[in-house]
Amino acid sequence: MTELDAVQKPGRRGASAASAVAGAATILLALTACTGSGASTTSSTPVAGGTLTYASGDAEPTCLDPHVGGNYPQALLSTQYIEELVGLRDGKPVPALATKWTTSDDGTTLTFTLRDDVTFTDGTPFDADAVVRNIEHVQDPKTASSTGYLALQSIKQATATDDHTVTLALSRPDSALLESFSQPWVGMESPKALDRSQAANCESPVGTGPFTITNWKHGDRVTLTKNAKYWGSTKPRLSGITWRFLPDATSRYAALQAGQVDVIDNAQPDQLKAASAKAAIRDLDAPRPGASNRLELNSGHGVFQDEAVRKAFIAGAEIDPGLESLFLGTAKRSYSVLSSVEPYGYSDRKLFRYDPSTAKQLLDDAGWKVGSDGIREKDGKQLTVTFPVSTNQSVPAERSLFQQIQASEAEVGIKVQLEELDLSSWYAALAKNQYDVVSAPYTKVGADVLRILYDSASITPAPSGYFANLAQLDDPAVDDLLQRAARTSDSGERGTLYEDAQQKILASGTVLPLYDQQNHFLYRSAVHGIETTAVSTPWFGTAWIDR
């Protein structure tokens, strides 16, 4: 057994000590049992000490506080030092920093009871006032939050009822709010640390987790040190973590093979295939929740305001051959806007068949005629679409897939201008509405991600300047379905509403699903006890290294 399915970090916080130990043991056994053919024999007894080196190919965060902005590179790192009110087990909310919660009959009041034995690593008590301060920090426009801000939109006011009770007054019932509180972008930070300047807090945010930030050498690494006073029943075994930023995929894998690093992310498909055949290097496959990898077609700007042109682009996109040849079987074609781990996902394969004849006919009917160079023209303008690509978020195999799509679109007369940008330039292009097509991965626990991505209210930017509805879909019927789904706690009704909404979203021609969102972590077989969080980031609070 060399390929390892993700195991979610159990909701130990708030559970009994016995269940905490049992949960950790289950994870440990899952990892250490996957020895595979030719594996070296290792001890099954956890050992303390040693520094784990993690090499990330994701963009280096500009701020280590996940409240600010709120992207996946921040989540990868911050889950080592920041923790959440709620955990997830089998997709269901379970206690973490909150021990229990109640919801009023009308769904507009949510009350949390908090642990009373937790302290932030700067000595500040974790209590109700701290939770209120964190919610206010996420919601404050000056924080410039996007992911956290959008997740907590339903909260009108947070009140510390007593030292360890927080009452949230909601503007509407929000069936996804508990799921949202399992995410690092709304994790708990020390109020004392939050009172510093944003620049200071970005350098070294303070949480309750098993590690603390001791140094950030920009452009190189973040150094994390064990929190010896960690409140959990299992203390961190590692002395620390060195979190390196190595953007080149080949260099990261070579460093892993040489034993210079212990864990890497953003591996290439050929590396994943090699890892599955080698016992010395293992593959932790942890698919992200939220949306699938997909292309969003900007219906509020340029040529894609015309539904016929959008649908011609979709019909003219040849995806399957490139997906098979470039990803070597490590990625599965998707026909849904939701990740395969989301139980409310809906697929419709027939909408996304490669059909260049239909694409040409749609463009002919829309008045786009083939020019001398093969690119279609109308009213003196070429049929050109701008496609900015984040080199930090798209691995080389995906960028090659985009080039193959570009070639197939040229065959039907659509010119695709690929623009490879670093993450900050990519965000700037989106904020300025300088795109026609974009691949924008979005991670959020639960199907409520559909509301974030496709409700017309999400065309309005969050305080960070980022707006999530990049398709700029403006359909009152979709808005109504998603808002009703967010208000109901009946799982059957939610499923029906989400399916109806997805049918309309897929039929609108504003989205082209590509493949299930990839999330692989390669690690040396000497590393044990890795868990994963609600958003499928690796968590090293129980990890150890057999040296």
In this structure, are 438 and 506 located in the same domain? yes
Rounded CA-CA distance 129/495 in Å is 36
**Residue with the larger pLDDT of the pair 523 and 32:** 523
pLDDT in tens, 196-212: 999 999 999 999 999 99
Let me know if residue 212 belongs to a domain: no
What's the confidence (pLDDT) of residue 425?
A: 94
Q: Which CATH number goes with the domain that contains 458?
A: 3.10.105.10
Nearest to 12 by CA among 311, 230, 305: 230
Per-residue pLDDT at 12 exceeds 50: no
pLDDT in tens, 466-495: 889 999 999 999 999 999 999 999 999 999
* pTM score: 0.89
pLDDT in tens, 47-103: 999 999 999 999 999 999 999 999 999 999 999 999 999 999 988 999 999 999 999
In this structure, are 525 and 417 located in the same domain? no
Distance, CA of 346 to chain centre: 19
In this structure, are 40 and 121 located in the same domain? yes
In this structure, are 323 and 200 located in the same domain? no
CB count, 10 Å around CB of 509?
Answer: 24
| Region of poorest pLDDT, from 25-34, 208-217, 294-303, 458-467 | 25-34
Let me know if residue 27 belongs to a domain: yes
Q: Which CATH number goes with the domain that contains 15?
A: 3.90.76.10
In this structure, are 483 and 534 located in the same domain? no
Let me know if residue 463 belongs to a domain: yes
| Region of poorest pLDDT, from 19-28, 84-93, 297-306, 419-428 | 19-28
In this structure, are 456 and 529 located in the same domain? no
In this structure, are 524 and 511 located in the same domain? no
- The mean pLDDT value for 249-278 works out to 92
Residue 462 — very low, low, confident or very high, per pLDDT cuts 50/70/90? confident
State which residues form the domain around 190: 3-204+520-545
In this structure, are 196 and 342 located in the same domain? no
pLDDT in tens, 175-198: 999 999 999 999 999 999 999 999
Let me know if residue 281 belongs to a domain: no
Rounded CA-CA distance 78/492 in Å is 35
Let me know if residue 234 belongs to a domain: no
What's the confidence (pLDDT) of residue 43?
A: 58
Let me know if residue 405 belongs to a domain: yes
In this structure, are 482 and 508 located in the same domain? yes
Can you state the angle between helices 307-315 and 396-412, rounded to 10 degrees? Answer: 110
Tokens of 275: 């890892």
Rounded CA-CA distance 221/27 in Å is 28
Rounded CA-CA distance 178/354 in Å is 40
In this structure, are 451 and 540 located in the same domain? no
Residue owning tokens 């006919």: 361
514: left (phi over 0), alpha (psi -120 to 50) or beta: alpha
Nearest to 170 by CA among 133, 126, 135: 135
Please report, as a single letter, which amino acid is at residue 144. Answer: A
Let me know if residue 229 belongs to a domain: no
pLDDT in tens, 319-377: 999 999 999 999 999 999 999 999 999 999 999 999 999 999 999 999 999 999 999 99
In this structure, are 402 and 439 located in the same domain? yes
Per-residue pLDDT at 277 exceeds 80: no
Total domains in the fold of the chain:
2
Residue 401 — very low, low, confident or very high, per pLDDT cuts 50/70/90? very high
In this structure, are 507 and 527 located in the same domain? no
Residue 267's Cβ-side half-sphere holds a number of Cα atoms within 13 Å equal to 31
Residue 518 — very low, low, confident or very high, per pLDDT cuts 50/70/90? confident
Residue 17 — very low, low, confident or very high, per pLDDT cuts 50/70/90? very low
Rounded CA-CA distance 161/246 in Å is 46
Q: Do 305 and 364 touch, CB atoms closer than 8 A? A: no
Q: What share of the chain is helix, strand, coil (3-state, %, to 5)?
A: 30, 25, 45
Per-residue pLDDT at 13 exceeds 50: no
Let me know if residue 502 belongs to a domain: yes
Per-residue pLDDT at 405 exceeds 70: yes
What's the confidence (pLDDT) of residue 393?
A: 86
